[in-house]
Structure 1
Amino acid sequence: MLNSLADAAATLLYAVLSAGLFGAGVVTEMRGFSAFGGGDTMLAAWLVGMGLVACVAGLFVFRDVVRPRIASAS
């Protein structure tokens, strides 16, 4: 029982991490796109790139960690 509770908590932690990375990536990309309008293209390009990296990291955590744990639990 304690082992399954620990697995569920770890899965929830990874799911929150995945959602947080993806959400932070979306916000960073939005900030980068608005910086393009302000004329600061170097900062904008960096923000859009880092936002993309965060989104991809969030998706990879979900695909490689969260989804298999959920599939094995059911």
Structure 2
Amino acid sequence: MDELPMAVECRLVSYDPESCRLVGEIVNVCAEESVLDSEGKIDVEKLAPITFDPVHNVYRNLGEVAGHAFQDGAKLK
């Protein structure tokens, strides 16, 4: 994995040629030790992933943490 510190293997579940929509199921994830935290989980900051923005046709870096799932919403009740 010289080029990719993490790889996600998927199985094709469905494909709609009219909309080019793919649906897949993740069946395996491989990651180099250099992107893992002390518990063996993928550390997003070490991985430094990028994503494609099809609206602006650019690649973007993932930003900082915006909130914590479930915990922040529970505080609003």
TM range (shorter): under 0.3
* Larger RCO (CA under 8 A, 6+ residues apart): 1
Greater fraction of residues in helix: 1
TM-score between both structures, scaled by the size of structure 2: 0.19
